[in-house]
Structure 1
């Protein structure tokens, strides 16, 4: 890494690892088939508000969910507390998020995001999903920490991001604005420019 770029950068009350500014990334659904909704041993991290949002759109997405996902939701709800004490989406057979649905092309999609894009709901998906591969940790003092979660299933996304010269923070512009606001994102871009990253 360039010696001028510190490993941790602060923007407002958010601490972030500098690789969010320096590393390239762009989802390549054709290559990965949406494995991030399927792989792993836990569901997507949620806030209490997001549990309510998932429950509010449940009727709109119910027909797109698998019978096993519907049974899981009937049994334990849209969310549960995992082994690390985090609130996460319910999963099927220790694998698929209950809101995963499959297209004719073999790709898995988020049923809530699909409903939003089709204009059937006003809410898209949990912010942890929208921000991926960024993971957020919220601290008791009101600050947040962001880090780049590197995962082998995203190898194609790294490759595509490098081909496009698209940094993680640029690829995730809209979700970052959704989470932290336009002014915060503008400040983040200013920091990147000052560090000679963009």
Structure 2
């Protein structure tokens, strides 16, 4: 079912499904699996480029070579702007802490070294945003087998996708929109129990 929240189409799975990243189990595999980089906007590319000097030392030599050759982003086969990748799968901004893959951009932000956090598409995962030519935005829950531990943890905690992603949803759409989403979600859950 699709719900409309202030001109944003929201899949009901975002309200009903449960999810909570479990970095201890998945080790951040979403940064190094897939066939394209993370979707980005032109504004985000500017933010990434402004943070590049700060995170350069955290990037692998092969990631640095890719950025030197093609920049921080490219247009994928679907015509979308995405972060550059290494070896057809690893995001160039992947860095490692122990056996975990982390985002060099986010780590630098958390350390107070840069103002750019990371692409909103990364922060919103497992929600994927689709923009249509008429300006309509749709949010869908993306199921990926590498996130099965996150689904399990979400169920253990009783944490729904939209609650888990409160901060990035507020970052993307604003507090007023998120409050409306919560109100609609409460009514939806009551109606479909």
- Smaller-chain TM-score bracket: over 0.9
Question: For residue 75 of structure 2, what is the aligned residue in structure 1?
Answer: 81
Q: Contact between 2:8 and 2:139, CA under 8 Å: does it hold in 1?
A: yes
Residue 40 of structure 2 is aligned to residue 46 of structure 1: yes
Q: CA deviation at 1:59?
A: 0.3
Question: For residue 159 of structure 1, what is the aligned residue in structure 2?
Answer: 152
Q: How many residues align?
A: 191
Q: CA deviation at 1:31?
A: 0.3
Q: Identify unmatched segments of 5+ residues in structure 2.
A: none
What is the TM-score when the length of structure 1 is the normalising length?
0.95
Q: Contact between 2:16 and 2:189, CA under 8 Å: does it hold in 1?
A: no
SS of corresponding position for 2:189: coil
Runs of 4+ with deviation above 3 angstroms:
none
Question: For residue 149 of structure 1, what is the aligned residue in structure 2?
Answer: 142
Q: CA deviation at 1:195?
A: 1.8
Q: CA deviation at 1:180?
A: 0.3
Q: Contact between 2:59 and 2:93, CA under 8 Å: does it hold in 1?
A: yes
Match of 2:102 among 101, 104, 109: 109
Q: CA deviation at 1:196?
A: 2.9
Query: In the aligned structure 2, how far is the partner of 1:166 from the partner of 1:47?
Result: 29
Q: CA deviation at 1:86?
A: 0.7
CA-to-aligned-CA distance 1:102-139 (integer Å, 9 cap, x gap): 112x1000000000001111110000000000000112
Match of 2:5 among 6, 11, 14: 11
Question: For residue 188 of structure 2, what is the aligned residue in structure 1?
Answer: 195
Q: CA deviation at 1:8?
A: 0.5
Query: In the aligned structure 2, how far is the partner of 1:194 from the partner of 1:41?
Result: 38
Question: For residue 23 of structure 1, what is the aligned residue in structure 2?
Answer: 17
